[in-house]
Chain A
């Protein structure tokens, strides 16, 4: 039954479970946000189950009627399913009877209805409760009361929207249309990549030993990439000295960073001059460099683009390696990163092979990205005794606007701008 319990009472606006936010600056963030249980619960209510668009699947995951995937909005389990008329429905994956999961697989096809395994109550593709096993009992005994109204006992329904083959869902009636929510600049960068029908190539789940926000910040952190990841700097996949920049949506929550394949000019020796570890040019080479052989695919010389939509969706183009990533919180200090690699329906066999090889670059075992799998845990462990201390997020200033450089933390500050607004901090 749809009765919302009262949200945790908060005394004053801006007050948190740890008292007031320490400083009114986007450039300072207290470490308790990665540790505090009460704050985590509030995130579920205020971010994931509120006025945000949450990625639930790709349209290509559910092409036919009755095809479904299960996913989570924060910790809230949902089913997303293709309806008879081709539309997409999403509803809470919780039986109206005793609360069991209605569907417990990652996905599949159900034809016309879902049936809970516990007591065989059934639901149509819209999530309406349709059938109750032995509703009238047996021989006039047992069964449900005659005045029981099924229609008032359905799982909560979510609004869905599609964008370029991506499917998002929201619990709130107030979430603005997806185009407005994302903002025109970042929206353009989604359309740039997802410009025709895609084809799923593989899915992987990477458990990470850190709070979910540490990963989202990592994705938005354009400053770290070529300083942490040797492959980016050594093979000039992305250096701060190459062309590029970062776009941040007006509300701060969404971003797109990009690297343009142009020579570094006067800054060509900047990494060497500072003895940056990740510049191994001339010292580290590949026996088979085919993993780096890319082709210009989108006609604009952008060889790397990382994009995020608040709170937990990521779209990646690194050379010809394309993927969406979904951040799923698993308690305050753990998360799952769900990777879906894709190509396009019209890929040639050569392009398919190229993508398969380049997928070595980015993923749970990616040459580039494996460092991101440990660095969030380093912060989680490093800050264990520093709940009331703050991190310094001040590269490129203290605001969250788009910038024509990646030597900035503007989009990380953008995340905190959106986070604090949603959380009421």
Chain B
């Protein structure tokens, strides 16, 4: 698999979130899938829980529809700064990647925009 394709996938992924085209986001996943937001400490300790845990595309769609329609929260805008992926392995048309990513969020109630980093 061409690394350019992988970089493009990451760039599209960040773009649909930053441009609030959230409904496009689940389409970037296979079904079934595994999407999990957790901490480095949980991963290091072998603890499985996620802040968000989805193992079907339907669960990802529910995250979006819930945010759009029923959850109450203060709106935030995001800008993801996506680094270059490290290709950990490739076989049978599938690749294992790790990508560093920093996300800046901005909301009216925040005195200064916090930054978070993550890999996936």
Q: Are B74 and A374 in contact (CB under 8 A)?
A: yes
Q: Are A204 and B70 in contact (CB under 8 A)?
A: no
Chain A residue with Cβ nearest B70 = A230
Scoring B residues 44 to 60 as 1 if CB is less than 8 Å from chain A, else 0, what string do you get? 00011111111110110
Q: Are A288 and B42 in contact (CB under 8 A)?
A: no
Q: A202-B49, A341-B49 are in contact. Are A367 and B71 (CB under 8 A)?
A: yes
Partner of B70, one of A231, A287, A364, A374: A231
Q: In the bound complex, how far is the Cα of B65 from the Cα of A291, in angstroms?
A: 14
Q: Are A370 and B73 in contact (CB under 8 A)?
A: yes
Is B72 an interface residue when CB atoms closer than 8 A count as contact? yes
Q: Are A234 and B70 in contact (CB under 8 A)?
A: yes
Q: Write the nearest CB–CB distance from B116 to chain A, whole angstroms.
A: 12
Partner of A202, one of B48, B54, B55, B56: B48
Partner of A280, one of B55, B70, B74: B70
Q: In the bound complex, how far is the Cα of B56 from the Cα of A290, in angstroms?
A: 10
Q: Are B109 and A370 in contact (CB under 8 A)?
A: no
Q: Are A365 and B70 in contact (CB under 8 A)?
A: no
Chain A residue with Cβ nearest B114 = A207
Q: Are A356 and B53 in contact (CB under 8 A)?
A: yes
Q: Are B49 and A106 in contact (CB under 8 A)?
A: no
Q: Are B71 and A230 in contact (CB under 8 A)?
A: yes
Q: In the bound complex, how far is the Cα of B72 from the Cα of A264, in angstroms?
A: 26
Chain A residue with Cβ nearest B110 = A209
Q: Write the nearest CB–CB distance from A323 to chain B, whole angstroms.
A: 9
Is B30 an interface residue when CB atoms closer than 8 A count as contact? no
Is A381 an interface residue when CB atoms closer than 8 A count as contact? yes
Q: Write the nearest CB–CB distance from A102 to chain B, whole angstroms.
A: 20
Q: In the bound complex, how far is the Cα of B37 from the Cα of A128, in angstroms?
A: 41
Is B61 an interface residue when CB atoms closer than 8 A count as contact? yes
Q: Are A287 and B62 in contact (CB under 8 A)?
A: yes
Chain B residue with Cβ nearest A381 = B109
Scoring A residues 255 to 292 as 1 if CB is less than 8 Å from chain B, else 0, what string do you get? 00000000000000000000000101000101110110
Q: Could you say which residues of chain A place their CB within 8 Å of the CB of B55?
A: 357
Contact size range, A: 35 or more
Q: A288-B58, A290-B59 are in contact. Are A202 and B72 (CB under 8 A)?
A: no
Is A329 an interface residue when CB atoms closer than 8 A count as contact? no
Q: In the bound complex, how far is the Cα of B59 from the Cα of A290, in angstroms?
A: 8
Chain B residue with Cβ nearest A367 = B66
Q: Are A360 and B52 in contact (CB under 8 A)?
A: yes
Q: Are A201 and B51 in contact (CB under 8 A)?
A: no
Q: In the bound complex, how far is the Cα of B76 from the Cα of A373, in angstroms?
A: 14
Q: A106-B41, A203-B42, A367-B66 are in contact. Are A356 and B49 (CB under 8 A)?
A: yes
Q: Are B109 and A377 in contact (CB under 8 A)?
A: yes
Is A359 an interface residue when CB atoms closer than 8 A count as contact? yes
Chain A residue with Cβ nearest B47 = A202
Is A371 an interface residue when CB atoms closer than 8 A count as contact? yes
Q: Are A284 and B69 in contact (CB under 8 A)?
A: yes
| Interface of chain B residues 12 through 66 with chain A (CB within 8 A) | 37-39, 41-42, 47-56, 58-59, 61-62, 65-66
Is A363 an interface residue when CB atoms closer than 8 A count as contact? yes
Q: Write the nearest CB–CB distance from A140 to chain B, whole angstroms.
A: 47
Q: Write the nearest CB–CB distance from B61 to chain A, whole angstroms.
A: 5
Q: A234-B70, A280-B70, A371-B73 are in contact. Are A363 and B41 (CB under 8 A)?
A: no
Q: In the bound complex, how far is the Cα of B41 from the Cα of A373, in angstroms?
A: 22
Is A101 an interface residue when CB atoms closer than 8 A count as contact? no
Is A200 an interface residue when CB atoms closer than 8 A count as contact? yes
Q: Are B50 and A371 in contact (CB under 8 A)?
A: no
Q: In the bound complex, how far is the Cα of B37 from the Cα of A363, in angstroms?
A: 12
Q: Are A371 and B59 in contact (CB under 8 A)?
A: no
Chain B residue with Cβ nearest A287 = B58
Q: Write the nearest CB–CB distance from A204 to chain B, whole angstroms.
A: 6
Q: Could you say which residues of chain A place their CB within 8 Å of the CB of B70?
A: 230-231, 234, 278, 280, 284
Residue numbers of A with Cβ under 8 A of B are: 106, 200-204, 209, 228, 230-231, 234, 278, 280, 284, 286-288, 290-291, 341, 352, 356-357, 359-360, 363-365, 367, 370-371, 373-374, 377, 381
Can you add 4 more A-B contacts, CB < 8 Å, to A291-B62, A359-B49? Answer: A201-B47, A286-B58, A288-B56, A365-B51
Kindly list the 5 A-B residue pairs having the minimum CB-CB distance in the complex, ordered from nearest. A202-B49, A288-B58, A287-B58, A230-B70, A202-B47
Question: What are 17 pairs between A and B in contact, CB < 8 Å?
Answer: A202-B38, A202-B48, A202-B49, A202-B50, A203-B47, A204-B49, A228-B72, A230-B72, A234-B70, A288-B61, A288-B62, A291-B59, A291-B62, A352-B48, A359-B50, A365-B52, A374-B72
